Structures are given as C-alpha cells and as structure tokens.
Structure 1
C-alpha cells in the first residue's frame, strides 16, 4: 500500500509558482494516456473522442482539499487515482464502458510540482489499463487543491441502466466492498493507519469494480448505481427512484462486517455503521430479475419489496446509526 504520510519535501524541488502554465503542462501531459477512443489528444482548444454508439454517457465530480482529501496523508497519486475512480464508477453504473476523461485542476503556488506530476500518474494508473484517455482539461491557481473530472462512456448499443427500474421481487446485489474506505478514514483520523493497512490503502486509492457495470447491463440488471455516499443513503436513492423498498439480508453482510471488525474493535466503533453508512467505496448496487444468474463479481445482499418507495430495511426493520454521507449536512 502507499505510505499514508506524504514524503519529506525535497530541498530545492520546484514549486508550481516556479513554472509557467505551459511549463507545468509540459510536465503533466506526457504522463497521461491517450486512450482507445481518442481521435485528437490534448494540444488544441478541445479534444475529439469517438462515439460509435451515437450516444455517450457523461458525468462529472469534484474533489476539494480538506473536504474530500487531506494532503497531510494523501499523495498526488492517491488523489489522481481517486478522482478517476469516482467518475469512472458513475459511468460503469450506467452500464457503460468508460472512454475518456477531462480534468480541471486548481492548485496553490506553493504546491510542489512533483505532487502535480503524481496526480497525473494516479490518473494514468487507473485510466491506462482500461484504455481510457485523459484528453484535456484546464489549469488554474487557487488557495487549495481542487480536482474536477468529467468522464465519458460508451453504451455499446445497450440501453442505459437507470436507478428507476427496480421491480418488486428483484434480487438486490452488490459488487465491490462496503465500509472499508470508512474504516480506513477513521484509522487515519485516529493516527493509527498501521492497524489496518488494507483499509487505509482502500480509502486513499479506492478500487472500484468498473468492469462489473457493463457486465450487469449485459446480464439484464433492472436498476443500478454507484455506492459513493453509503449503502443506506444510495440505496434509498435507488429505492425512491423505483418506488420500492430495499430489504437487506443482515446475514449477507457478514463478510463485510468481518472485513472491518478488527479496525472497529481498535477504535471502539461499530462495524455495522461503516458497512451501512460508510461512503467512498465506489461499489455497484444493482437489482436483477429473480432467477437471472448474477455476474461473477456480484453477490446477493437482499430483495426488492413493495412498500413506500425510498425505504431501506435490514431484515425487515429500519436500521439505526448513520445514514451515509451528505455533502452539506456532513
């Protein structure tokens, strides 16, 4: 896993303010992948990307320093990887294959240039293996680091998988992990990253099941979404859009609880709060018709039931504890 503490600054290493915009771009652009769908890479006023389906999926997300990450324990590579993953997961949640991203970056002048180069390497580390191009963006000065990514995807001739398609009787399934990022964040905040390096690594650089989105679409998923703000909060969004109730199987959450149990014991926290309410794991929550074989990466965790739309239950009861992340309510 990456070291959870930033490296010691290198004496006389260049800072952002030491370079012109052109000089900084000259250090970043060669690190970025072109991608399989890119016809015209960075260098002009805009890039050109293929859209063979005739439609394209587009989404955008933002990372703000000290709101979504902290430089005291996040390397540039961590932030770049996270920025890519959280956007590509939204593309995958529509059942699409990600094709390209553009990045708007605002940085303070006293930021080391190698931190910015690390961010580019983090973006490339996620995007290049998927054939996703980093095809352009913008640079600006700011009092703190802000990273905004816009991602595009190709539906490959399939209908998009919406949040609103879940039907009573469907199987509720999940791909990825639950609660691991929340556990890692809690350990970092407590100054105890050594107690669960895997959880800390997942918080710093989440790994999302990106190939699982298109696989779910091909398998006939009726609804799907990225779990970025916690299982209860995002599950409630899917349930409300579909006008149904999601009933989680408590026993099916056992492996997730076991995965974070040691960290919860160390910190005196409830593992269930992390699994149900922890965000930034970027797994995929989907519903499938009963009897349809689930894609290999998905695991059944409950059922879709009739009732007042928007409710998420555990074994038929309303769970207590945190409901997930809200960007304005905390």
Structure 2
C-alpha cells in the first residue's frame, strides 16, 4: 500500500472516531441523539441575569471544535452533537435562550470570544490561570491528558519517556503547551533529544488520530476523554499509561462580563443539583468526569 493510500485509510478511520461511523455510548448505531436527557424549564431568576443584548436576540452563540468526540462532533447528518452540546443547550434553556453552536478551529476560539464573534465557548477547555487572564471560565467538568499509541505499542514507548519521538497534538491545546513547556525542557535538561518541532500540530483532533493511525507519528497526546473515545471507536489505538494533569474544564465567557458568568455558573449548578447534569453525563458514559460544584475562574494551575 502506498503512503498516500495509508493516509487516506487512516483519515477515514479518524472520521469514524469523529462520530460518523461509531456505534456510540448509548449502544445504538449511527448518529448520537441531539436532545439532552431532560428539558429543564426556564429559571426566571437566572433569566433575569442574562445581558440585554442576548435577551434581544433570544439566543447564545457557542463556539466549539466539532472534531473532539465525544465532547463535540458531527453526526451522519452533519449536526454538531456531543456532551458539550447537550449541556450547552440545557444551560441556555435555563436562561430562556436558544443555543446555536458554531464549529471553529480550536486555537482561534478564545480569540473569537474576546472579539465578540461568539457569546460563549464550550470545547472541553481546561481551566488554566493563563487562560483566565484573557477570559472568564465557568467550571463544569474534569478531564486530563493521556498518551495514545497504535495497538500493541509497536515502538515500545513509555508515556513518560517520549524524548525524540514524533508526537501528534492539537494546535492550541494544553497538550501542545505540555510538550513545549514541560516535556521538551525536561528532555533537554536530561541531555536527550526533544520531541521534534514541539510536536506535530494539527487543527483538528481527528487529524491527530489520523496521523497516529497512518504511522506518521508514533504517539499522540490528547484529552483523556478524547483518547478513551478514540480507543473504543477505532480498535487500533490504545492508551499508554494513566491520565495526568487532571483539572477542571470550563465554559469560556468574555472577560469581565460578570453578569453573564454568574448566570451561566448558576445555571450549571442548578443542572447539577436537579440531576439533569448527571443524566447527560450518564448518557455519554462520563459519570467519572462529573463535578459537584461549578465556580467562576476555578483554575488550579
């Protein structure tokens, strides 16, 4: 098989990982359902906190990178579905708004929120102190990073020892930052070759998986939720070692819009308290990633 054919086959497998050919966490075939586990009613007290410009248009525009199953991906009909979609729609409903999800490149989403292109962003963003300098973040989930390799670990890699190994990461992700700011400085300090190029960077998580499946890289580092989903969906990838750097994930909100941040945080907490949140995570088999309390700007690192 030619290199091009191998790449095309791997890309097709990665599309399947994205949700177009995955049986899914609910055990059925085809696309994932878009409707959340329950439809919570509008909370008048929370709706009163919604800024006037959002009330006027009656909806909230939410940016997401629809290549990150199961958090967000496109189903067979091209609709954006996933954990964040179900949760985002439930939050918007509590606030008396419709939710409109916009597919966007991950590394441009925060800038888009800052520029007013999007009202919010939900794409499993890790809450970090650095990001909180640019935007406000409402925590709603926990996740970490994980290393994945092709099944059988043909290159006999160790998740903690990737110096000199070609590794795929998504551009703008905390995993890309981890390679550049933590892993490679450690490699150099130990006199070992760094991960080339601070990692092979791709715009989409499906492209990261495709590069690994095609053998263009020997490993990938991604959010542990995405790695777990890719393992189940492809049958050709395995996680190497455990998860690390587990931290809160957060909804991204324009910096200083305290009223909106308060409304979103209180809506998330209400969903947690009444069980809607738990039912949504249960639908996607992600109960272990649940939080019991939502806070504004709760980064731990």
Q: Same fold (TM over 0.5)?
A: no
| TM, length-normalised to structure 2 | 0.29
| TM, length-normalised to structure 1 | 0.27
Q: Which has the bigger relative contact order, CA under 8 A and spacing at least 6?
A: 2
Kindly name which structure, 1 or 2, has the bigger radius of gyration based on alpha carbons: 1
